[in-house]
Amino acid sequence: MIICHFDLPRCFSRFERPDFPLKFSGASPLAGAVPYAQCYGGHQFGTWAGQLGDGRAITLGEILNSKSERWELQLKGAGKTPYSRFADGLAVLRSSIREFLCSEAMHFLGIPTTRALCLVTTGKLVTRDMFYDGNPKEEPGAIVCRVAQSFLRFGSFQIHASKGEEDLGIVCSLADYAIRHHFPHIENISKSETLSFSTGDNGQSVVDLTSNKYAAWIVEIAERTASLVARWQGVGFTHGVLNTDNMSILGLTIDYGPFGFLDAFDPSYTPNTTDLPGRRYCFANQPDICSWNITQFASTLMAAHLISDKEASYAVERYGTKFMDEYQAIITQKLGLQKYNKQLVNKLLNNLAVDKVDYTNFFRSLSNIKADPGIPEGELLVPLKAVLLDIGKERKEAWASWVQSYIQELVASGISDEERKASMDLVNPKYVLRNYLCQIAIDAAEIGDFGEVRRLLKVMERPYDEQPGMEKYARLPPAWAYRPGVCMLSCSS
């Protein structure tokens, strides 16, 4: 079985070709390709883990498409690599479907991500102990071909810096390669652009990004990462495993494992069973964790003598500023307002958490509120009745108070209800890839029916549209969706 998506390179524009499954299962190499697996290190759960690497990912090579865009093709689950250690390098169908669907869902939500070109079933069984409880079972195997302009990650540089002075030159060479191919505007930066910035509380220190391309590079990586995380927070996406080896230098969402979109709003939500003790990677922690990861990456460039301490500090500072600017802009757009209102936002998030309100459906419903201060108090919550479920009198009063404050902001903005609803629906998705939807598709696929995978993919291609007849894909999760293996998964499967 082959499921194919994404704009294929012209040479593979017809996946009906008989050699397609051979090429994209790794059975037959691409002409002129020299496949390889990447070696990298990383901080995992805050601790340096040493050498890691692509244990089940094999890069087939890089191609240039008809637009002269560079794309790296990578197979995940095709077999052992030099970094598989004691594992088999294979992947199971359930995790492959999850990555295939979510990378595409994220793309259509407008969030930077690696893409999924195709998914190929292998016809072989793979043994996995999904819960690490001593009860392994055989599952169908599959291979995803994922694509990105680069799969370089923070850990690709960290591993060489960790080996001492003899490998620091590799850090420099790899940075030069990344800048030349993926940040050419930095390679050609001109001193006439005067990219100089004051830093510190007194503004006395100055960082000139035109005098050191590596400083300009780390600042751009920090800003791309900040923008990415702000967008995650905007749609309620939790990555689950934000180790430094899972951080893209291009600011892409990469390595889909135990991810999850918020259902009932819970800032401490983590979809990763391994993360449960400390919830290091929970939804609310993602901005700070990625700042910490930027700090580790900047330290790597400092160790290689590519940037100074001052330049590293500035990159981390830029991350924080960029994140707050982007997040506040996103939440303001989600509310349909003209300017950020911290008090209104904080009260809203508190209310959502107290009543465990569905994050996606709440914001989608919010656009139905009218900017009319004359609405009777007893009718204020009518537009939200489908999402404010099972709340008592006291909580209804708290929500009514918030809605009144919100309406005052809407009136002050002066935007018509129709115009505001249209703009809000463009940033508040109706459909996100909830874990239980994935599981329904996986259950069907495991007995040979891939129809639901295809239907779900089509729905996720238009997350902001109403899509009449597809409303079931916006429903709240059923009770069974909260069992382990659906709402939460382990780090690796």
Catalytic residues: 245
Indicate left, alpha or beta for 79 from its phi (over 0: left) and psi (-120 to 50: alpha).
left
How far is CA 204 from each of CA 124, 214, 261, rounded to the nearest angstrom? 64, 22, 43
DSSP letters along 125-193, please? EEEE-TTSSS--EEEEEEEEEEEES---BHHHHHHHHTT-GGGHHHHHHHHHHHHHHH-HHHHT--GGG
What CA–CA distance (Å, rounded) separates 168 from 171? 5
The two tokens of residue 490 are 């382990």
> Judging by beta carbons within 10 Å of its beta carbon (0-12, 13-18, 19+), is residue 395 exposed, middle or buried?
middle
Rounded to whole angstroms, the Cα distance separating 302 from 451 reads 51
DSSP string, 312-357: HHHHHHHHHHHHHHHHHHHHHHHHT-SS--HHHHHHHHHHHHHTT-
Q: CA–CA separation, 95 vs 99, rounded Å?
A: 6
Q: Tell how far CA 374 is from the center of its chain.
A: 42
- 473 alpha-carbon distance from chain centroid: 21
Q: Answer for the pair 89, 77: CB distance below 8 angstroms, yes or no.
A: yes
CB atoms within 10 A of CB 230: 22
Helix (H, G, I), strand (E, B) or coil at 36: strand
Planar angle of CA 406, 411, 413, nearest 5 degrees? 95
CA atoms within 13 A on the CB side of 153: 27
Sign of the dihedral through C-alpha 232, 236, 237, 240: positive
Q: Within 10 Å of residue 134's Cβ, how many Cβ atoms?
A: 6
φ, ψ at 243 (rounded to 5°): -70, 160
